[in-house]
Amino acid sequence: MKYEETTRRRNVIYKGKIVALRRDDALLPNGQACVREVVEHPGGACVLCLHEGKVVLVRQFRYAYGEELLEIPAGKLEGGEDPAAAAKRELEEETGLRAERMNLLFTLYPSPGYCDEKIYLYEAEQVTSGVRHPDRDEFLDVCELAPETAFRYMEEGVIRDAKTIVALLFLKEKLSAGH
Amino acid sequence: MKYEETTRRRNVIYKGKIVALRRDDALLPNGQACVREVVEHPGGACVLCLHEGKVVLVRQFRYAYGEELLEIPAGKLEGGEDPAAAAKRELEEETGLRAERMNLLFTLYPSPGYCDEKIYLYEAEQVTSGVRHPDRDEFLDVCELAPETAFRYMEEGVIRDAKTIVALLFLKEKLSAGH
C-alpha cells in the first residue's frame, strides 16, 4: 500500500550554521492534519580507509554528547559539493591521506524520523600519505587501529558512531569473505 | 590527547514534539569562542527480529525525505522509558510480534556532529505472534523478507536507513558465521 504525507505549509523556525529546523503543517495519509518537525542538513561524506593494513579513525570531542568519539573521517558537504570530492577532501584534511578513488558503499539515512541528512559512505582506494591540514576549529587525533582491535571496540561499545559501525561491519564481512 | 569543549551559555531555540534545538555559546579546546548547534532527541529503540526465518521490516512514509522507507521496527523512548521495554512495545505495536527477550546489539550515535540521539538496537529473542495495534498517526505496512532479499535490497540502495543497515550487516555476519 502506498502512503504519502503532504505539506500544507512550510514553517522555518531556524536557519543556522550546520542545521536548519522546520515545523511544517502537513496532512497524514488519511487526510488528518499533523505537525512534522524536520531538521535540515546539507548531507555528509565519510570514508572507510585502510592504511598499511590498519583502519583509519579520528578521535574528537563531540559537543552534542559531551564525549570524545572514535569515528571514520567525515564531514559535511560544502555548498552542493560532490560527495566523493568531499570524502577525499575530508580524508586529506583530517588524516593527510590521499585516495585516488572513492568507491560508494552506502547512502545512509541516519535518523529518518525527523532529519533529512544523507551520509555517503565511501571506501578509499589507492591510498597514499600526504600532509594533514585540519580546519582551524577541528581538534582531532588520527588513530590507526588493526581491524581486529576496531571490531572489538565496536563490540564493546567503545565505538558508537553509526556510520563507523556500518563501515566496520562491512569491512569485517569483506575480510572474512576474503575478497 | 584529550580535547574538550565547554559550555558558556545554553540557548534553547525551540522545544517541540520530537526534537528540541539549542544554539550554545561554547569554548573550543584552545579556549576560542564558538557556537554549537545541538538537536536534542529523547533517544530511540529498534529491533532486529526474525519471524519464521524472515527479517521483519516496516514500510512507512518518512516526511523529512518525502519517501517511503523500509526499516526495522523502531520508535522513540517515551518519557524516560527503558530502551528494551520500548523495543518490545514498538515491535508489538507495529508488527503484532512479541519477543520474550531483547538482546542489546549496539548503542548507535546516528549523527554526532549536531545531535544527541542514542539509538538502542536490539535483537528479538523467542518471538511469537500477537495482534498489531499501531499508533493512530502511524501508517505502515509490515514486510517480512528472506534475509538474502533484505541483503540485496541493502546492497542495491533500496534499504537506506542506517540502523537497518547495521542490523542487516550484523545478521549477515551472524548467518555466515553459522552462530
Tell me the nearest-neighbour CA distance from B19 into chain A, angstroms: 7
Instruction: Give the model's pLDDT for residue B47.
Output: 98
Contact list, B163 vs chain A (CB under 8 Å)? 162
Longest CA pairwise span in chain B (Å): 57
CA distance B91 to B117: 20
Q: Specify the higher pLDDT residue, B55 or B129.
A: B55
Q: Do B111 and A111 touch (CB under 8 A)?
A: yes
Decide if A109 and B162 are in contact by the 8 Å CB cutoff. Answer: yes
Torsion angle, alpha carbons of A69, A71, A73, A76, to 10: -70
Q: By CA distance, what is B16's nearest residue in A?
A: A37
The Cα of B49 is separated from the nearest Cα of chain A by a number of Å equal to 19
Domains within chain A, CATH numbers bracketed: 6-40 (no CATH), 44-176 (3.90.79.10)
pLDDT value for A1: 59
Tell me the one-letter amino acid at A117: E
- Neighbouring C-alpha atoms within 13 Å toward the C-beta of B104: 17
DSSP string of A109-150, one letter each residue: BS-TTTB---EEEEEEEEEEE------TT--EEEEEE-HHHH
Q: Assess contact for B92 and B81: CB atoms under 8 A.
A: no
pLDDT-derived band at B138, boundaries 50, 70, 90: confident
Q: What is the pTM assigned to this prediction?
A: 0.96
- Answer whether A109's CB lies under 8 Å from B69's CB: yes
A63 φ/ψ sector (left φ>0, alpha ψ -120 to 50, else beta) = alpha
Q: Strands (DSSP E) along chain A, which ranges?
A: 6-9, 12-15, 20-27, 33-40, 44-48, 50-51, 54-62, 67-71, 74-76, 97-108, 119-129, 140-145
Of A82, A96, A161, A99, the C-alpha closest to A134 is A96
Task: For chain A, list residues with pLDDT below 70.
Answer: 1, 134-137, 179
Do B69 and A108 count as a contact with CB atoms less than 8 A apart?
no
pLDDT at B149 over 70: yes
Instruction: Verify whether the Cβ–Cβ distance A160 to B4 is below 8 Å.
Output: no
Mutate to test the interface with A, among B30, B35, B37 (most CBs of A within 10 A): B37
Report the complex ipTM. Answer: 0.96
Question: For B3-46, how does the pLDDT look when each residue is reduced to its tens digit (9 = 90+)?
Answer: 899 999 999 999 999 999 999 999 999 999 999 999 999 999 99
Residue B128 burial by Cβ neighbours in a 10 Å radius (0-12, 13-18, 19+): exposed
8 Å CB contact of B110 and A110? yes
Contact B109/A160, CB-based, under 8 Å? yes
Selected for mutation to probe chain B from A68, A114, A170 (highest B CB count within 10 Å) is A114
Does residue B137 have a pLDDT over 70?
A: no
Here the cell at position B70 is 523500509
Residue with cell 560544502: A78
B109 vs A contacts (CB less than 8 Å) = 62, 65, 69, 160-162
